Amino acid sequence: MLLTVSTAPASYTYGAAGFPNTGTNGLTGFAGNAKNENGVSKAATTGGRNGQVVYVSNLNDLRTHMAGSTAKIVVVEQNISSSSLQKVEFGSNKTLVGSFDRHTLTNIHFRSTSGSSNVIFQNLTFNHSANINANDDIQMYITSGSNYWIDHVTFSGHNYSSGGSDLDKLLYIGDRADYITISNSKFANHKYGIILGHPNDGNSSYNGVPHVTMSNNYFENLYVRGPGLMRYGYFHIKNNYANNFNQAITIGEKARIYSENNYFGAGAEKGGILDDKGRGEFTDTGSTPALSSKVSPKTNWRPSSNYSYQVESASYAREFVTKYAGSSNTTLVFGK
């Protein structure tokens, strides 16, 4: 399979920092051209396409340019760091992309608003201090709007103890947020990884959201929830690699999960791939090792009814993500 490579285009000459092509080359899944369960099509995520390109090197400028609805391509050209937690709200029609030289955001946590939608986060590294570990300390927190693409992003995590008091997470997408693709990204070194869907059982009004595609991601040393805890929505989990885990996939209430050709490394031998609450639906095909739901019934839903896609073998996925997942200083390589 040929790999798609994104490099800084020659036409981008109005700033000093080189950065990846900010088009949607490599976009797949629910954030792309997709249909809902009734066959109704939606437009693909475009982010800040055709908008002004702005370069940011400090927190104040980052806040300013990520707000509002005006289309913008916001380029991080200097690492931005804070000793304390800083929440940055984002609006709509934005692409936040890291330059090749510097793209690290430390203790910067992004939050959606009621006006958020159509946002791309690409080629970024998120760091946060180990003492920022409360329940809602989440570096990416998306609760409303639709069409989000998180691509080639590294969530680097921190040291943790499995028996410690850490409650922080790396990523939350839930409530009314919908149509998201998480691709070619790395999630590492954390007690808790990802939560998808409304965070509590017994809230049937959220049934059917979110629609999430997780493709070509690398989960390393996440104690639980990598790829994640999933509730209520439709979750396509393909060609991911999880290693050094205690529990990988948690099947929550009314989750419809279609898993294919994922590779589960160290931790699989302990029987921790599936944490099955018996209240969702789960089907896997082609993963290593082979998976079957312990309690939950198989799902009849197939993501091929929502969009077209390609899938590679589980062994290919493991090799690909260990080489190319996460942020990059040179080029971005996309899995299919």
The CA-based diameter of the chain, rounded to the nearest angstrom, is: 56
Task: Report the candidate in 321, 318, 302 with the shortest Cα–Cα distance to residue 235.
Answer: 302
What tokens appear for 289 in the block? 């090792």
Question: CA-to-CA distance for 36 and 54, rounded, in angstroms?
Answer: 34
Report the DSSP pairing between strands 34-35 and 41-42: antiparallel
- DSSP structure class, residue 299: P
Contact 80, 102 (CB under 8 A): no
What tokens appear for 17 in the block? 């920092």
For residue 81, the surrounding DSSP H or E stretch is strand 80-98
Annotation marks residue 231 as catalytic: no
Work out the number of other CB atoms within 10 angstroms of the CB of residue 169.
Answer: 25
Residues of the chain by 3-state class (helix, strand, coil), percent to 5: 10, 40, 50
Kindly give the residue spans of alpha helices, DSSP state H, lying in 235-289: none
Catalytic residue among 225, 231, 256, 318: 225
What tokens appear for 31 in the block? 């954030």
Residue 45 sits at φ, ψ, to 5 deg, of: -65, 135
Contact 88, 117 (CB under 8 A): no
Question: CA-to-CA distance for 39 and 276, rounded, in angstroms?
Answer: 30
Which active-site residues does the annotation give? 225
